[in-house]
Amino acid sequence: MNTATVLSAIALCTCAGTALGQNQLWLRQLGTVADDIATSVTSDGAGGFLVAGTTTGSLAGPNAGPFGSRDRWMARYTANGVLVWTSQFGDSENESLTGMAPDGAGGAYLVGDANISDIWVARFGPTGAEMWSHTLSAQTDRGNAVTPDGSGGVFFGGYTSGNLGGGLASMGDGWIARYDAAGNQAWLSQFGYIDPLGQAQVEGVELVLALAADGTGGVFSAGVAASDYGGPYQGNVDAYVNRMDSAGNELWAIKIASILEDVATAAASDASGGVYVAGRTKGFIGGSPAGPSSTTDVFLLRYDASGALLWARQFGTASNDVPHGATPDGSGGVYLTGYTEGSLSGTQAGQGDIWVARYDSSGTQLWIRQIGTAGTDRGWAAHTDGSGGAFVVGQTGGSLGGPSAGQIDAFITRYSPESCFSLSSVNNVLTCEGTIAQFGVIATGPGPFTYQWRHNSNPINPVMNPSAATHTLVLTSVHGGNTGQYDVVVTNSCGNSTSNAASLSINANCCRADLTTGAVPGQPGYGVPNGVLNSDDFFYYLSLFSQNVGCGPGSTPCQTPPDMTTTAITGAPGYGVPDGHIQSDDFFYYLSLYAQGC
């Protein structure tokens, strides 16, 4: 093994002049003339963080293998992004490093592959020195995920096509192992689909791609189940989530599947004993697909401790959108990172851009950011910074945080939890059928702002309702189809934020004849119902009626009021239903309402 702490070989940019995005605190880029990728990040227990990945160059000393071979590397930074040390290690083979988790003592547990088809697990101390490492081997094996066990030890997980100690159930099984702080294996559980008769589903495949501690000494895992594991196989690639207790006993397993491709790629604890699971789908997991079935959307699911689904979200563009990393936000929510080939939040910069998003515990997207270069950029991992924000790492094919050092460089960045602008609350509306309803929001911060109002999470077309692209949404002639939840996505030069959701309800006991507080145009209360029916309401309607005669198809659209009915015959079809025309029936209909009183 070759280990070095020299920094002179690294092209490192602290880049004070680099333009940062909304609530992005700093951005670093480092690399060699070869390929350098940051795949993992975790806290160092002292406010800073550890980052690790792979390099085909000499990032912190000579590469241990022949030209082009892949070594592992690890570095430590302060909370402000100042490099403390870096270390490179490997042998003559290609190595991978797929995950890292804190050890609770300033160091980290690492997982990856060794010798092409073996599993490598290790613990490194706070100065970058190896404390222990083990290689697990059966046939074709992968180490994909790692998470602390809450007692100073660690869970590792991945895939095997052999028998690592749990008995092969499928063509390829998922596996989870628990180790103590000294590197002793407490147990290893290997799992796949076993039918009610005890027969293995030989052609099935299960892969652990993500782990998250359950807070009680157990662990959640998520990944791929191309089998009946967790539920009936849908015939393509399915995802799953399961939970094991502290002794490695499976408590439950649940299939996550559409009829198309579904892969769970990331998981994070929800601080309430449950778990967030993120992944990619070509079908319907948490909503309608954003693009064609040939492209992938992001899904985000939240499960409680018993495996009950609390909510599901799906988002994306018409191109491929994939999550790679997830981490708790410290407030019960979650951060996600990944890559997009579209314009997920802003204009697409290159072949693939990085995105970072934050969701609260109820599934509301608080904000989402997109950054990138003209090359291919990916966010691979995220970890909470202990202050409500997150460290995010990955790779860039361009000059993301400074000049590019080679073909692919690593990047490291930090986001604060809040946006650079704030939104006022959107208030609930209780109104009468056939009246006008309004929702408004005030954005405070650097403008200009753009607005996109949504009804039940679906964007309202500004062509059909121009107010959907303004700070105030106006709904005319409210009817039952308008009821539901309304929110607005507000965007400025540094990102976007989504307001709270407000409800629109219709009061079944409305007095439709009550139209105004006063009959004098321009005076306070003009056109605002006040719960009192008097002559002002009649004269207000009469004024509207006379002003709008002649409206309708081919002319100015009719408003409600004065367009209030299709016919004045009580009980006849169209009675009380606006028809887009102003005629005597509307006047006599209102006169009838007025005479009935309120």
Annotate 170-233 with DSSP letters as a single string. SSBEEEEEEE-TTS-EEEEEEE--B-TTS-B-TT-EEEEEEEEE-SSS-EEEEEEEESSTTS--
Among residues 257, 266, 317, 264, which one has the least CA distance to residue 284? 257
**What are the sequence ranges of the domains in the chain?**
11-418, 423-506, 535-596
Please enumerate in sequence order all residues whose Cβ is within 8 A of that of 128, keeping only pairs 6 or more positions apart, or say none.
3, 5, 74, 76, 85, 86, 87
CA dihedral 86, 266, 14, 17 (to 10 degrees): 170
Phi then psi dihedrals of residue 161, to 5 deg: -105, 10
DSSP secondary structure letter of residue 385: -
Output the pLDDT for position 498.
Answer: 80
Quote the CA–CA distance of 464 and 453 in Å, as a whole number.
12
Residue 275 tokens read as 């778990």
- How far apart CA 218 and CA 207 sit, in angstroms, is 19
| CA gap 474, 439 in Å, rounded | 7
Sequence-ordered list of residues with C-beta below 8 angstroms from that of 347, at least 6 positions apart, any chain: none
Q: Which CATH superfamily is domain 11-418 in?
A: TolB, C-terminal domain (2.120.10.30)
Residue pair 141/158 in contact by the 8 Å Cβ criterion: yes
Task: Report the candidate in 428, 477, 485, 500 with the shortest Cα–Cα distance to residue 455.
Answer: 485
Length of the chain: 598
Tokens 């280990």 sit on residue = 3
What pLDDT sits at residue 571?
Answer: 84
Per-residue pLDDT, 2? 38
Assess contact for 327 and 385: CB atoms under 8 A. no
> What pLDDT was estimated at residue 403?
86
Question: At 585, is the secondary structure helix, strand, or coil?
Answer: helix
CA distance linking residue 74 with residue 52, whole number of Å: 4
Residue 20 has a pLDDT of 61
Angle between helices 535-548 and 584-596 (to 10 degrees): 170
Tell me how far CA of residue 55 lies from CA of 9, 70, 91, in angstroms: 13, 5, 12
Virtual torsion, Cα 585, 586, 592, 597, nearest 10 deg: 180
Q: Tell me, what's the pLDDT at 98?
A: 96
Question: What amino acid occupies position 223?
Answer: G
- On the CB side of 155, CA atoms within 13 Å amount to 30
Q: What is the chain's pLDDT, residue by residue, as a tens digit (598 residues)?
A: 333 333 333 444 433 334 566 678 899 999 999 999 999 999 999 999 999 999 999 887 777 666 668 899 999 999 999 999 999 998 777 889 999 999 999 999 999 999 888 999 999 999 999 999 999 998 889 999 999 999 999 999 999 998 998 677 778 899 999 999 999 999 999 998 877 666 666 668 999 999 999 999 999 999 999 999 999 998 789 999 999 999 999 999 999 999 899 999 999 999 999 999 999 999 999 777 777 778 999 999 999 999 999 999 999 999 999 999 999 999 999 999 999 999 988 788 888 999 999 999 999 998 899 999 999 999 999 999 998 999 999 999 999 977 888 889 999 999 988 766 778 888 888 887 877 788 989 888 777 899 999 999 899 999 999 999 999 998 988 888 999 999 998 887 656 778 888 999 987 777 888 888 888 888 888 888 887 899 999 999 999 898 887 776 666 667 768 888 889 898 888 887 777 788 899 899 999 989 988 7
**Model pLDDT, residue 59:** 86
Q: How many CB atoms lie within 10 A of CB 134?
A: 16
CB crowding 249-282: b at 16 or more within 10 Å, else e: eeeebbbbbbebbbbbbbbbbbeeebbbbbbbbb
By the 8 A CB rule, do 281 and 274 touch? no
- Encoding tokens for residue 363? 């599934």
The answer to whether the bond into 289 is cis (omega within 30° of 0) is no
Q: At the topology level of CATH, where does 423-506 sit? A: Immunoglobulin-like (2.60.40)
Q: Which of 164, 170, 66 is nearest to 121 (CA)?
A: 164
User: HSE-up of 598 (CA within 13 Å, CB side)?
Assistant: 19
Half-sphere CA count of 230, side-chain side, radius 13 A: 26
